[in-house]
Amino acid sequence: MRIFFMLLLLIPLRSWADLGGNPASVSADAGAFQASMQSSTHASYTVSTLTLPSGTVVKEFSHGAIIFGISWQGPFMPDLRQLLGSHYNAYVTAAHAGTGPAHVDIPGLVVRSDGHMRAFSGQAYLPDQLPSGFLPSDIK
């Protein structure tokens, strides 16, 4: 039993915020990306805006205890593996590629990624987690 707990200590704990994750950890994303962060609260949700050193802006939309949407825009793609978290593998499988423009619409996950060199944008959201009255087009 003691060995089990010692092994658990060796497993790196991930505290980054990601799609479907806890919004309390958004500040960890800011640290991981070395980004500045601002938050704004709206009627039924909060938007945390991260400005990365590259100039790319990432917005994480949350309500309650869940990040339900993410958007990005800028000269460089953010690390989608980090932002999509546990949904990344489903995204890659559905998109048939890990980089570049992709449009994925599968049960429980929507990702729109567009752009070209120095001009990328996209959004990802969990359709079942959108707050009442919130439209996917509001994720920008």
Q: Using one digit for the tens of pLDDT, what is the confidence trace for 7-27?
A: 333 333 343 468 999 888 787
44-80 residue pLDDT tens: 999 999 999 999 999 999 998 999 999 999 999 998 9
Instruction: Give the residue among 19, 18, 37 at the shortest CA–CA distance from 27.
Output: 37
The average confidence (pLDDT) of the chain is 83
108-130 residue pLDDT tens: 999 999 988 899 999 999 999 99
Structural tokens at position 111: 């990702």
- The pLDDT of residue 4 is 32
Query: How many contiguous H segments (helices) and E segments (strands) does the chain have?
Result: 4, 7
Q: Which amino acid is at 82?
A: Q
